[in-house]
Amino acid sequence: MGMLAKVYAELGDLKNAESTALESLKVLPNQPDLNVFVGKILRKSGQLDKAAHHFSQAVDQSRMNLEAVLELAHTHQDQREYSKALEAFQLAIQIAPRDVNAYVGAASIYRESKDYNTAEEMLRRAAEIDPSNLTIRRQLGAVVALNLVHSSQEVKTLV
């Protein structure tokens, strides 16, 4: 049934894809890839709580499933549950320390919380892994600038 769900998705019939995948999960619940598939459909349709549940199921079923961990992190980020998102990004870094997506995701949360030093550190690691990635380099430049402005403002308030 999982294959049928993916065929429905390919045809653009997300409603039948979701229901078929959910039926398959009822029969065989331990299918991390199918949980990720359902989670993506739910996330795309804005059902973030349900999506997070399926991504969590996939992570519980396969702790080393980088895709599931990153999807869970991004879903928590969309829900503005930053501590949960950060926890998932940190798990992704442990699973795949050479994957830039976890560093970039973590950096965005640190930047959002105005922890520019840590955001800069995360982006520097990502830039070391993928030095030709201009998007990462631009984000790093922006965070360095924010860090400088923020640091200089702190010095002025101390004086």
Q: Does domain 1-81 have CATH number 1.10.10.920?
A: no
Q: What is the CATH number of domain 97-159?
A: 1.25.40.10
Output the pTM of the full model. Answer: 0.84
pLDDT score of 155: 46
pLDDT score of 56: 97
What is the average pLDDT across 5-23?
Answer: 72
Amino acid at 17: A
What is the average pLDDT across 23-36?
Answer: 85
Q: For the chain, which residues make up each domain, given as ranges?
A: 1-81, 97-159
Q: Judge whether 100 and 126 are in contact, CB under 8 Å.
A: yes
- In the chain, % of residues over pLDDT 70: 88
Phi-psi region of 46 (alpha: psi -120 to 50; beta: other; left: phi over 0): left
pLDDT band at 8 (very low <50, low <70, confident <90, very high): low
